[in-house]
Amino acid sequence: MEKVVIIGSGCAGLTAAIYTARASLEPLVLTGAMPGGLLTTTSIVENYPGFAKGIDGTELMMEMQQQAERFGARIQFGSAVDAIDFSGSPLKLTVDGNEVETQTVVIASGAGHRHLGLESEAKLEKKGVTYCATCDGALPMFRDQPLVVVGGGDSACEEATYLTRFASNVYLVHRRDELRASKIMAERTLTHEKIEPVWNSEVTEVLDAGQDKVTGVKVRNNQTGDESTLDCAGLFIAIGHVPNTQLFRGVIDMDDAGYILPKRGQETNVAGVFVAGDCSDHVYRQAVTAAGQGCAAAIEAERYLASLDQ
Ligand code: NAP
């Protein structure tokens, strides 16, 4: 039987792995489909303490993984949890079709990209519609072309700024007339000569002109009702995230949006199950807070295991 199974391998999951591994609990980390989590889709991380010049997101996550492995964490790549049974002790997980029994679980399953929900968006995904500038921005189809970014947060600003390396120009379409992003990111974005904000506007359709690739987007001004078309080769959607918690619905307490509700010390309503990171935090959502929560979850899991031995 496992002592600790960690679901997810982003900042929260790998920090929980470092701490539980150093406590000689030999945690099993199930990476899921995206080892390293969302941070691997970021270019430079400028606000993780300890890196004065910033650090590449993938590099940061690889360092964390190696740090966890150095102390005995076992990383199972690509492994996803198909089902859970938290009705008794031990806790049971079905992982890639096999049953795994464990005394504790740390849920650090993170969050995925929110979609606009347009039919044309789904149809043209990977044909010019994308949710990750770092992953796709350098593709030949986007080089020296006009591109559209949707959103007004830090992600949208980061994507728009990153895309200026490749695009002829970038339209930043936002549904309000001010950005939600932090001041430094907003300023960097709005003063960039290649970025043009399109305020109070919503993308209502992605256009392909019968070519099976993005050729433009239809935009509606929500103040005037006016519709216009922006010609572009790519639509980069950066409108926030949805927590990856569907598997735990009905078992672990969560809010209406699906964010797990932690109690004191990252505990959940199920004994032995702890939570950390973006799957439970819609307020801070930073790499460093996710790491902090992963640390707290690991320490509480360790204390819980010690209490079982008494
Ligand atoms: P976010 O802060 O939640 O911003 C989402 C943006 O998308 C908002 O501007 C929102 O508009 C807009 N939006 C939401 N749903 C929409 C819809 N259906 N249609 C059109 N627009 C929609 O998400 P985020 O930018 O991904 O950032 C998430 C967290 O990560 C934040 O805490 C952020 O600080 C952090 N982050 C930090 C960095 C960094 O520091 N380097 C980089 C990336 C992300 P409204 O403004 O009108 O609500």
Q: Select which of 11, 136, 232, 278 is catalytic.
A: 136
For this structure, is 295 an active site residue?
no
303 lines ligand 1 (CB under 6 A): no
136 lines ligand 1 (CB under 6 A): no
The residue contributing the CA closest to ligand 1 atom 23 is: 240
Per CATH, domain 2-112+241-308 is 3.40.50.10490: no
In the chain, where do the E strands start and end? 2-7, 28-30, 44-45, 55-56, 74-76, 81-85, 91-95, 98-107, 111-113, 129-130, 146-150, 169-173, 195-198, 201-207, 216-221, 227-231, 234-237, 241-243, 273-275
pLDDT digits (tens, 9 = 90+) for 157-180: 999 999 999 999 999 999 999 999
72 lines ligand 1 (CB under 6 A): no
Supply the mean pLDDT for the chain.
Answer: 96
Q: Would you state the pLDDT for residue 126?
A: 86
Q: Would you state the pLDDT for residue 309?
A: 81
Q: Which CATH class is domain 115-237?
A: alpha beta
Q: Would you state the pLDDT for residue 228?
A: 98
The residue contributing the CA closest to ligand 1 atom 18 is: 116
Q: What proportion of the chain, given as a percentage, has pLDDT over 90?
A: 91
Which residues, at least 6 apart from 162, have a Cβ–Cβ distance to it below 8 Å?
43, 133, 134, 137
Average pLDDT over residues 245-274: 96
Distance 150 CA to ligand 1 centre (A): 10
pLDDT digits (tens, 9 = 90+) for 83-115: 999 999 999 999 999 999 999 999 999 999 999
pLDDT digits (tens, 9 = 90+) for 20-71: 999 999 999 999 989 999 889 877 888 899 999 999 999 999 999 999 999 9
Nearest to 235, CA basis, from 305, 135, 131, 141: 131
Q: Would you state the pLDDT for residue 310?
A: 76
pTM: 0.81
Q: Would you state the pLDDT for residue 195?
A: 98
Distance 89 CA to ligand 1 centre (A): 39
- Residue intervals in the chain for CATH 3.50.50.60: 2-112+241-308, 115-237
